[in-house]
Structure 1
Amino acid sequence: MTGCADGSPDRRPQPSRPSPVPSPSAPPRLPLVLAVHPTRAAGLSADPALLGHVRSGRQLTWQQLGGTGGVARVVRGPHAEDSGASAPSDTDAVLAVQRDPDTVAVVRADALGPGVAALPVDGRDPVTDPRGYPVTVDAEAGPGAVATTLWTGDIMLGRRVGIEIAASGDPALPFSRTARRLAAADLTVGNLECALSRAGPATQGGDSFAADPASLSGLREAGFDVLTLANNHLGDFGAEALRRTVSSARSAGFTTVGAGENLTAAREPAIVRVGAVRFGILVFNAIGETPAAGPTSAGAVRLRMPPRTGPLSASDLAALETSVRALRARADVVVVCPHWGEQYTHRPVAAQHTVARRLVDAGADAVIASHPHWVQGMELYKGALVAHSLGNFIFDMTFSREVQQGVVLELVFWGAKAMAARLLPVAIGTRHVPYFLEPAGSEAREILADVWRTSGEPYNAL
């Protein structure tokens, strides 16, 4: 991964993949997969024999996949053995799954996208490990380069989290149970919701968050590449502390985005390379409290919108749309990360849908948001993923179960095409240290159900 916004060199080698790479003379092949609705995917898997049975036209039950329920409706695309001339296209088969959670599609992997989930076969994931996956079919082209990206919710390293770090003497303590997985991704992005300086007076009383700059080494060990800074706590200790926070993070090797010493600097996108693919990231704060960056004043990019900063500002939104369109010309994948919404609810406010769709219309490939401290729903709009809130990742809140839960969003790309969107549930444990939950466990299912209940199409199938 190369950070282009600040010129930082490659920090991390591309992860090695154990599967053999076909020789250049071998004809291209792609995985043949079982695609299911995202709300049913947790804990499901298959083996080559079962996939072969389904491919040849035999009946499939959800129990055979490790789930619950009766007989699944199977839609076989043109690459299944018995599909015949009247078979639906792979695209239509995928759409059938998105419309009906009781459907399983047999399709070639290049038809996948973030609206469905492909099951592992023999423990091999067809999206992240297409060359090691055991069942393949002829294709016009191979999968190309695979890039795995991880996006976390709010990271607050001050207050009681900071006390635990100081007591342990280990800046990596907050990441001790998640670092291996975070660092294995090709690109890892998190929202840093605290200052790294106390250069001025606290502006939010006991809710003013500042962490020791030494805590950045823990973020580095955990594999974070980009820190988004446009949030309502970056300015908790004034303008000089904000400037020092940006400087400290960049000096530590992070690409930062969303805040700076003036509006021009704050609006500068993060552009990072994963192999040949350029990922462009923009961020804005719709909550307030941190000052809005001005022509000559430090702050964060701001969008005024409900529920916190007034009615939706046409001029602010137009400026963001201009930024998205400009970034579209510089990046292969464009992601916008808002800090928005109502706290302590799973339900997005109406303005979130409005703004997200305007950003996608301007050229965003995904909108991945933070602030509510609870997980919120997702939706697809014109093929672009909108995740309204990932909840907390590292925080010292303990007053409800929901503030100690969140999701890490895994977006997997083949080249610049989004192939999968997976929610990895997390819980915050003792000493405010988060950990990944077993995907099929009861708490993980509870968190995912909270997401699905307030989601839009195609994730609203519960």
Structure 2
Amino acid sequence: MTPRVSRRAVLVGGVGGVLAACGGPATRTGPQPGSGTTEAAATRAAVRLPVALAVHPSRSPGLAASRAELEAVQPGGADTWQGFRVVRGPGAVAAALADRNTAALVTADALVPGIAAVPVDGVDPLTAPGSYPVTAEVAAEGPGPVVTSLWTGDVMLGRRVGAGMARTGDWELPFSQTADRLAAAGLTVGNLECTLSKEGRATHGGDSFGADPRALAGVHRAGYDILTLGNNHLGDYGPTALVRTAAIARGEGFATTGAGENIAAAREPALASAGGLRFGVLAFNAVGESPEAGAASPGVVWLRMPPITGPLAPADLEAVAQSVRAARGSADVLVVVPHWGREYSHRPVADQYTVGHTLIEAGADAVIGGHQHWVQPIEIYRGRPIVHGMGNFVFDMTFSEQVQQAVVVELVHWGTVLKAIRALPVRIGTGGVPRFLDPAGAEGRTILGPVWG
């Protein structure tokens, strides 16, 4: 069964405007730091790209520059900016990643996932290149359309979250403080950590997460396109409810992956389009509890690995890697969403690195994981991100600060090229309702510490 393609296909911005942007003395021409001077680059067409300051992401919250500050550190100018040592030319980005007191002055073609570009006059050089105040002509491939995607942690619409919606009659309540921002992205993806049916026996007592399908009203308002189902709670009411949940979600227009009436259906990628890009998403569950899908039996995709489902199973890992290879041809951007790791810990288990690296090597463009209820680090492997844990998103846990703190991950693509990954801090408040935080605020910095530390 092929999941239904999302009803929403949004083109977010574009970079054509950068070619004619920003004349006058602040627009630099000729070779610039980071633009590259190799023979291969010299054969490319000349384009105008933003000239950016970039720093290690742990230093970026609250940082901003003015056009005058950026002009002051152009070649031949100052060698420091706001206490950072400014490095130019090839190797500048690597220097900034290695030394958190260094800033790279580069054109946007040199920016890579894991480095943070600083806004200038309030304009982000990656998401709004056409409005950016300083550009340079470089020999580079012209970038494609700018497409942003947002990825959230667990969306649990049952238990006390569901009771709050039923009590108020507001089925959009869990997304009341985040919907506008989520829906503004080109693509929005989250893990549905509950069933939409209670047609069977509750298998986890009070920890059985079953939601009223009317709660999907808020999911719609928040602009979700894809819901991953490969988790340990989709089986909380048995196989009939599991299949019914997938059918309800698809019937409402969401693409799903990770669960289905059999293993073939569960392994099918969810597909959605944004900005002319085809996104494909796969999901799997490494922590058990939900039934494993079989050739003729419903369930979720399993991958056995520590700390819960045993030692890492090479056959399971190869099966997921094969799904990545098979889906590669149907997607411009392919992301795997694992449900893995140890609960209530900022530290990934060792096999998260093994599995994540294997999936990147198989062809995944990113691995964006969850389940642990706490945030975990973002790793860059072979230039591609592995998010080890986003924490919760919509959830009713309140027994510690960490379970009420999370990140939403933003990916920024220029065409098929991933230019940035960002972690947006979130606080989950009363009733399990999340809100975005200022990354430069005290709690925002606390949440981001384990992510980029």
Give the structure-2-normalised TM-score.
0.91
Write the deviation string for residues 113-163 of structure 1: whole angstroms up to 9, x where unpaired: 111000101111000001111100013343320000000011100000001
1:76-120 superposed Cα distances (whole Å, 9 cap, x missing partner): 12xxxxxxxxxxx2xx11111111111101101011111100010
2:37 is matched with none
The aligned residue for residue 43 of structure 1 is 62
| Contact 2:13–2:147, Cα closer than 8 Å, also in 1 | no
Amino acid at match of 1:76: R
CA contact (8 A) 2:4 2:253 kept: no
The alpha-carbon distance between structure 1 residues 43 and 226, as it changes in their structure 2 partners (threshold 3 A), is: same
Contact 2:9 2:274 in 1 (8 A): no
Cα 1:204–1:416 change in 2 (3 A) is same
Secondary structure, counterpart of 1:55 in structure 2:
coil
Matched with 2:124 is 125
Greater shift, 256-265 or 92-101, is seen at 92-101
Residues 1:191 and 2:191 are matched in the alignment: yes
Cα contact 1:360–1:366 (8 A) shared by 2: yes
Question: 1:415 maps to what in 2?
Answer: 415
Distance 2:252 2:418 in 1: 30
Question: 1:393: which partner in 2?
Answer: 393
In structure 1, how many angstroms separate the alpha carbons of the residues matched to 2:384 and 2:13?
29
CA change 1:415–1:281 in 2 (3 A) is: same
In the other structure, the counterpart of 1:68 is: none
Asked if structure 1 preserves the Cα contact closer than 8 Å seen for 2:346 and 2:376, the reply is yes
8 Å contact from structure 1 (residues 130, 143) kept in 2:
no
TM-score if structure 1 supplies the norm length?
0.89
Letter of the 1:271 partner, please give it. L
Q: How does 1:359-398 map to 2 (within 5 A)?
A: 359-398=359-398
Distance 1:22 1:73, change over 3 A: closer
Matched, 1:294 2:297: no
Cα–Cα, structure 1 residues 176 and 122, in superposed 2: closer, same or farther, change >3 Å?
A: same
Letter in 2 for 1:239: P
Is the contact made by 1:114 and 1:420 (CA closer than 8 Å) also made in structure 2? Answer: yes
Q: What pairs with 1:313-462 in structure 2 (closer than 5 Å)? A: 313-453=313-453
Kept after mapping to 2: 8 A contact 1:263/1:293: yes
The whole-number CA distance in structure 1 between the counterparts of 2:75 and 2:251 is 57
Shift in CA distance, 131/249, structure 1 to aligned 2, threshold 3 Å? same
**Distance in 2, Cα, partners of 1:101 & 1:9:** 40
1:353 counterpart letter in structure 2: Y
1:11 correspondence with 2:30: no
Q: 2:85 aligns with which of 59, 73, 82?
A: 73
Q: Could you tell me how far 1:210 is from its partner in structure 2?
A: 0.3
5+ residue gaps, structure 1:
65-70, 78-88, 454-462
2:115 pairs with 1:96? no
Deviations 1:28-72 (A, max 9, x none): 31100001111100010101110000114443656x3xxxxxx32
* CA distance in 1 between partners of 2:93 and 2:312 (Å): 36
Q: Structure 1 counterpart of 2:101, which letter?
A: D
* Corresponding residue of 1:106: 105
Residues of 2 paired with 1:437 and 1:19: CA distance? 32
Q: 1:271 to 1:102 in 2, by over 3 A?
A: same
Q: CA deviation at 1:11?
A: 2.3
Tell me the alpha carbon deviations over residues 253-310 of structure 1, each in whole angstroms, 9 at most, x when there is no partner: 1000100000000000112222332211110000000000000000000001100101
Contact 1:18 1:132 (C-alpha < 8 Å) held by counterparts: no
Kept after mapping to 2: 8 A contact 1:5/1:272: no
The question of whether the paired residues in 1 share the 8 Å contact of 2:15 and 2:146 is answered with no
Quick one: structure 1 residues 332 and 11, their matched pair in 2 at CA, closer, same or farther if it must change by over 3 Å?
A: closer
Distance 1:210 1:60, change over 3 A: farther
Give the match's secondary structure for 1:163: helix
Query: How has the CA–CA distance of structure 1 residues 143 and 229 changed in structure 2, closer, same or farther, with 3 Å as cutoff?
Result: same
2:38 is aligned to none
Aligned-residue identity in percent = 58
Matched residue SS, 2:380: strand
- Confirm or deny that 1:115 pairs with 2:114: yes
User: How much does 1:327 deviate?
Assistant: 1.4
Contact 2:57 2:452 in 1 (8 A): no
SS in 2 for 1:344: coil
In 1, Cα distance between equivalents of 2:383 and 2:16: 30
Report the residue type matching 2:194 in the other structure.
C
Counterpart amino acid of 1:30? Answer: L
2:40 counterpart residue number: none
Offset of 1:7 from its aligned partner? 4.1
Name the CA distance, whole Å, in 2 between partners of 1:46 and 1:223.
32
Conserved 8 A contact 2:8-2:273:
no
Tell me if the contact between 2:73 and 2:80 (Cα under 8 Å) persists in the aligned partners: no
Amino acid at match of 1:392: N
Shift of 1:18: 12
Aligned positions of 1:296-311 closer than 5 A: 296-311=296-311
Relative to structure 1, is the Cα distance of residues 371 and 107 closer, same or farther in structure 2, using a 3 angstrom cutoff? Answer: same
Hey, what does 2:27 align to over in structure 1? none
Instruction: Evaluate the alpha carbon distance shift between residue 416 and residue 15 of structure 1 in structure 2; reply closer, same or farther with a 3 A threshold.
Output: closer
Return the alpha-carbon distance in structure 1 between the equivalents of residues 15 and 177 of structure 2: 24
Q: Is the 8 A contact 1:115 1:380 kept in 2?
A: yes
SS at match of 1:75: strand
Residues 16 and 147 of structure 1: CA distance in aligned 2, closer, same or farther (over 3 Å): closer
Q: Distance in 1 between matches of 2:144 and 2:333?
A: 16
Q: Distance in 1 between matches of 2:217 and 2:312?
A: 38
Q: 1:9 to 1:210 in 2, by over 3 A?
A: closer
